[in-house]
Amino acid sequence: MSIKIELNDQTMIAYLNGEIDHHTATDIRTDIDIRVEGSHPNLLILDFTNVSFMDSSGIGLVMGRYKLMKDIGGNLKIVNPSPQIRKVMSLAGIDRLAIIEKSRPCKRSDYFDKK
């Protein structure tokens, strides 16, 4: 699992890549939390385009980032989960807490280069 985090203005995007399980969730959580706590974005976007697998640790990861963003007055958005991951998120109730949307594959200009 790898993660790339970008921040522009008040939007932070975490591009997740690989599998999210109990082996990788802690490092992802730490990386995101450090960046969020240092910059206090208004919006955190978790991009699942390249996530191939997620277990319950991934649900905990998403729920914790939702709480973190609410605590600082921000919002969480999840983009491009696979149908299987979206189903798991829906069963866990994440769709009642955060926006989950399917869109074309994300790229930096989708969020940062708009005037």
In sequence order, the β-bridge partners of residue 47 are: 15, 79
Q: Which residue, 80, 109, 111, is CA-closest to 13? A: 111
CATH number of the domain located at residue range(s) 2-109 in this protein: 3.30.750.24
pLDDT digits (tens, 9 = 90+) for 59-87: 999 999 999 999 999 999 999 999 999 99
Cα separation, 50 vs 19, whole angstroms: 9
Every domain of the chain and the residues it spans: 2-109
Give SS3 for 35: helix
Kindly state the average pLDDT of the residues 89-96. Answer: 94
Would you give the end-to-end CA distance of the chain in angstroms? 33
pLDDT in tens, 30-54: 999 999 999 999 999 999 999 999 9
